[in-house]
Amino acid sequence: MTKSLNAIAQKLMSPGQGILAADESEGTIAKRFAKINLPNSLDLRRDYREMLFRSTEAMTKYISGVILTEETLEQSAADGTTFRAILADADCIPGIKVDRGAFPMPGDSGEKITEGLDGLRQRLVRYAELGAGFAKWRAVITINDVAPTRNNIRANAHALARYAILCQEAGIVPIVEPEVVGDGDPGNHSLERSAQVTGEVLENVFKELRLAGVDLSGMLLKPNMVLPGVNSRDRPGVEEVARRTVDVLKQHVPAAVPGIAFLSGGQTDEEATAHLSAMNQIAYKPWPLTFSYGRALQNVALRTWAGRRENFPAAQAAFTHRAHMNSLAALGEWSNEADRAAA
Ligand code: 5MM
């Protein structure tokens, strides 16, 4: 069991490859579609994901796994081919988002707690039967004048650990995603504060993972990068973000973890790519670093598709370009010039 979990994790971290996060919940995909004036219909969700998964070059060369929703895991393309078959043809591992979303934490700290543990053991059996090789659970950590509270960090870390051990029991690799979100106000969410909170969160997460008996060699970590909040006056350069992020990870993430796949967290496409590449240029890291981006892989492709199947080729070209650039970043070989030239 341990060996196969580690083998799946290693395959997801294949050099020059990363993970496509296509697990937008109904509410989130509705927001993405609304920005391009599209309704959130079943057919449009299917078409959009079909466009992505049938981007053959991107999926075969640059994407090792895709995080799906429950709907997509069981869905088929317009011609009746299951998405699972399309991903299998591209040698991509299907993954599944298993949390039920982040809900307001009791109290008035403005924090969230992720739900979805009830019945998870049974759901995981079904996801494994459907071929899911890995899963994802996202905890949301808020920074404001009173948050994060110790109570919220512990509750989210505990839920992540309970999720992770249940996944491993079902033969599924858990991706553990504690996200320190970046919409704190300027006074509270400096680069320094981001580093301190990210470190504290990771420390608690690994403490709970160990207590739960999670095999660290059979999981992946999906963290935020160390960044100031979107409204902060701090404007660190690419190298500084990379250095601070790797420093925090080195202090809190055990070397036994087979890989780290970052979320993009609202960065521009180029920022997310540049930061990943700069981190991969830093020597002496115990784990490979890659991407598990949602928005930073999909932004341009979504706008180019615009809800029309005749736009598939152009949207697929846009997606393939972004996936290629992030593949170079996963190898530490990306440059702005190469990005513009290839675009
Ligand atoms: C694709 O978005 C994922 C699902 O979010 P919701 O459940 O809120 O709809 C999200 O978990 C995503 O996997 C990560 O946050 C990374 O996505 P970004 O866009 O930050 O790279």
The residue with tokens 């049974």 is 122
Confidence (pLDDT) at 184? 66
| Rounded Cα gap, residues 95 and 8, in angstroms | 11
> Is 158's C-beta closer than 6 angstroms to any atom of ligand 1?
no
Ligand 1: nearest atom to the Cα of 138: 11
Q: What is the mean pLDDT of residues 197-223?
A: 98
Q: Are 163 and 117 in contact (CB under 8 A)?
A: yes
> HSE (CB half, 13 Å, CA atoms) of 166?
23
Question: What are 37's two structure tokens?
Answer: 């004036």
The separation between CA 52 and the C-alpha centre of its own chain, rounded to angstroms, equals 16
> pTM for the complete prediction?
0.97
- In the 8-state DSSP scheme, what is residue 79? T
> Is 269's C-beta closer than 6 angstroms to any atom of ligand 1?
no
CB count in 10 Å sphere of residue 190: 18
| Rounded Cα gap, residues 105 and 142, in angstroms | 11
| Rounded Cα gap, residues 95 and 208, in angstroms | 23
Sequence-distant (6+) residues with CB within 8 A of 84 are 73, 94, 130, 131
| Rounded Cα gap, residues 295 and 309, in angstroms | 20
| Rounded Cα gap, residues 31 and 39, in angstroms | 9
Q: What is the mean pLDDT of residues 140-145?
A: 95
Confidence (pLDDT) at 108? 93
User: What phi-psi label fits residue 277: left (phi over 0), alpha (psi between -120 and 50 degrees) or beta?
Assistant: alpha
Q: Whose CA is nearest to atom 7 of ligand 1?
A: 25
| Rounded Cα gap, residues 161 and 264, in angstroms | 23
**Domains in the chain, number:** 1
Question: Nearest CA to 323 among 9, 65, 38?
Answer: 65
Q: pLDDT of 57-109, one tens digit each?
A: 999 999 999 999 999 999 999 999 999 999 999 999 999 999 999 999 999 99
Confidence (pLDDT) at 110? 94
Confidence (pLDDT) at 82? 98
Q: Is the pLDDT of residue 2 over 60?
A: no
> Is 188's C-beta closer than 6 angstroms to any atom of ligand 1?
no
> Is 23's C-beta closer than 6 angstroms to any atom of ligand 1?
yes
The three-state (H, E, C) secondary structure of 100-134, written as one string: CCEEECCCCCCCEEECCCCCHHHHHHHHHHCCCCE
Confidence (pLDDT) at 61? 98
Structural domain range at position 330: 2-342
CATH of residue 332: 3.20.20.70
Q: 294 alpha carbon to ligand 1 midpoint, in Å?
A: 6
The separation between CA 219 and the C-alpha centre of its own chain, rounded to angstroms, equals 13
Catalytic site residues?
177, 222
